[in-house]
Amino acid sequence: MTQSIFDKFQYYANLREDVARLDTNPFNVVVEQVLSETEAIVNGRRTILAGTNNYLGLTFDPRCIAAGRKALEEEGTGTTGSRMANGTYAGHLALERELADFFGLPSSIVFSTGYIANLGILSTIPGPSDVVLLDADSHASIYDGCRLGSAEVIRFRHNDPGDLDKRLKRLGTKAESALIVVEGIYSMIGDQAPLQEIVEVKRRHGAYLLVDEAHSLGVLGEHGRGLVEQAGVQEDVDFIVGTFSKSLGAIGGFCVSKWKELENVRYAMRPYIFTASSSPSIIASTRVALHILREQGAELRKRLWDNAHRLYLGLRELDFKLGPESSPVVAITLGESKEQALEIWHDLLDKGVYVNLVMPPASPGAGCLLRCSLSSAHSAVQIDAIIDAFRSLRNNILES
Amino acid sequence: MKRYQEILDALYEVLTPFANEANKQLSEETELVADLDIDSVRLLELLMEIEDHMDISIPLNVLPDINTVRDLAVSLQELSE
């Protein structure tokens, strides 16, 4: 039989067959009409969005929209070029300065997406003679950045400083130039890195440390700078990577650093060079969102965490298997049956609640996940409606 | 440095439950994914168990070259040198 170039995608063909009997594919949900930060029309039905990472609810902030509209009219729809060529506008540089100022660090680079930020930094800074040690539950962008680079890549057990210590010891003197990579809040389960303990291990071996604050920027810390601020370890962290596509309600990524040498890396990063820069309207709305985070972040964070606690406690009362701590990311672990997970996810959607369905290998363990993410813009009534929808499926979830 | 046969024997021990489940006989030519149906998540867990057992770290970079039990044993032998 002739081999096809598509044979290797049989797994995905089977998955498509599994979801074909549902009227909505969980991996291709169409938002037919956006109604607000927290509601949309999906499948013709008014639906509460409980899986959008819109932590501070800034996507409809009139100040962000006005800034984006002004930039759109004055600077056009796109830059049509690389940051290295014609794609660096005054706004890109202003955002870099404002990010550096926000973090109190000297160096800052803005990327077109958070994914590209990790790809650029991790494929370029660690070289062929270096070693990257990454938490096993790291985001795909971290794994992909390492794959694109030339360093040796070693995983350590999720949130296990002891395992990290053991692996650094095995490296001998190479540990001094090794780069440890962790996340502020892990995207799937919503748990936080034990950053103080990780910093102790880093100090002991003299390694470098990168913290990805994609899900913790604006969410953790007195000023919303993330887990690094909350844990009080900024002096020990070498690189902070983050995104504009969650708390800041737009799209884009960044890296800030205490090392002025980061500027030397800018034009060595292929993912930074060989892509078009962010559109002026995105940069403009992000700058205003960052300003709002600085001025009103505490108030937004309080609402977000109130919502997070309300959902976490509500779901815990239903005896679901949740992550270890209350978080704006709340994940319910189901069994290994993909069919059952699909049914439950679809039933939730039928009840007017959208959450993310996550299956292995994207989920950390062997089970499937129903992943919720909260927003400061959710009302208490909406949170209760989400809990009610889960309650009505309690038996199916517990038996999955 | 561990001897090749010693590593192979240890691997056979770890992989026997998978071979039994897949109803396959283990040999150096056995393919980890195709023959033993070990998915990527389970394979990474399995490698962590082997790392603990042998007190080594297996870089992710070597994984694309590992298809068979022999490939894995050779890699482990090199890493334990």
Whether A367 shows a pLDDT value over 60: the answer reads yes
A151-158 mean pLDDT? 97
Residue A69's SS3 state is helix
Report d(CA A64, CA B80) in Å as an integer: 56
- Choose, out of B54, B57, B60, the residue to mutate when testing the contact with A (most A CBs < 10 Å): B57
State pLDDT tens for residues A324-363. Answer: 999 999 999 999 888 899 999 999 999 999 999 998 888 8
Band of residue B1 on the pLDDT scale cut at 50, 70, 90: low
Whether A213 shows a pLDDT value over 60: the answer reads yes
A172-187 mean pLDDT? 97
Band of residue A271 on the pLDDT scale cut at 50, 70, 90: very high
DSSP H helices, B1-81, are 4-22, 40-54, 69-79
Lowest mean pLDDT among A117-131, A289-303, B65-79: B65-79
Residue reference for tokens 């978080």: A327
Distance from CA of B54 to the nearest CA of A (A): 12
User: Are A185 and A219 in contact, with CB atoms under 8 Å apart?
Assistant: yes
A137-153 mean pLDDT? 97
> What was the pLDDT predicted at A257?
98
Q: Which of A143, A153, A366 sits opposite B59 (nearest CB)?
A: A153
Distance from CA of A129 to the nearest CA of B (A): 13
User: Nearest 5 degrees, angle CA A22-CA A25-CA A31?
Assistant: 120
Cα nearest neighbour of A133 on chain B: B59
Q: Which long-range contacts (CB under 8 A, 24 or more apart) does A285-288 make?
A: A285/A64, A285/A65, A285/A67, A285/A68, A285/A71, A285/A249, A285/A250, A286/A95, A286/A244, A286/A248, A286/A250, A286/A252, A287/A67, A287/A91, A287/A94, A287/A95, A287/A98, A288/A61, A288/A63, A288/A64, A288/A66, A288/A67
A137-143 mean pLDDT? 96
| Distant-in-sequence, close-in-space partners of A75: CB < 8 Å, separation ≥ 6 | A89, A91, A280, A281
Whether A27 shows a pLDDT value over 70: the answer reads yes
> What was the pLDDT predicted at A12?
86
A87-109 mean pLDDT? 98
Lowest mean pLDDT among A23-27, A82-86, A212-216, B18-22: A23-27
> What was the pLDDT predicted at A23?
72
Whether A118 shows a pLDDT value over 80: the answer reads yes
A3-14 mean pLDDT? 89
Q: A361 or A71: whose pLDDT is higher? A: A71
Q: Does B61 touch chain A (CB under 8 A)?
A: yes
Band of residue A266 on the pLDDT scale cut at 50, 70, 90: very high
Does the distance separating the beta carbons of B59 and A152 come in below 8 Å?
A: yes
Count helices and strands (H / E) in chain A. 14, 14
Domains (range + CATH), chain B = 4-79 (1.10.1200.10)
Strand partners, B31: B68
Q: A339 or A226: whose pLDDT is higher? A: A226
> What was the pLDDT predicted at A21?
74
Domains (range + CATH), chain A = 12-59+297-399 (3.90.1150.10), 79-278 (3.40.640.10)
Lowest mean pLDDT among A173-182, A283-292, A363-372: A363-372
> What was the pLDDT predicted at A1?
64
Among B residues 7-46, those touching chain A with beta carbons less than 8 Å apart = 39-42, 44
Whether A22 shows a pLDDT value over 80: the answer reads no
Pairing assessment for the beta strands A107-111 and A253-257 based on DSSP bridges = antiparallel
- Percent over 90 (pLDDT), chain A: 90
Residues of chain B contacting A131 with CB distance shorter than 8 Å: 59
Per-chain mean pLDDT for chain A: 96
A320: DSSP letter: -
> What was the pLDDT predicted at B2?
64
Q: Does B59 touch chain A (CB under 8 A)?
A: yes
Report d(CA A215, CA A240) in Å as an integer: 12
Residues of chain A contacting B58 with CB distance shorter than 8 Å: 154
> What was the pLDDT predicted at A28?
84
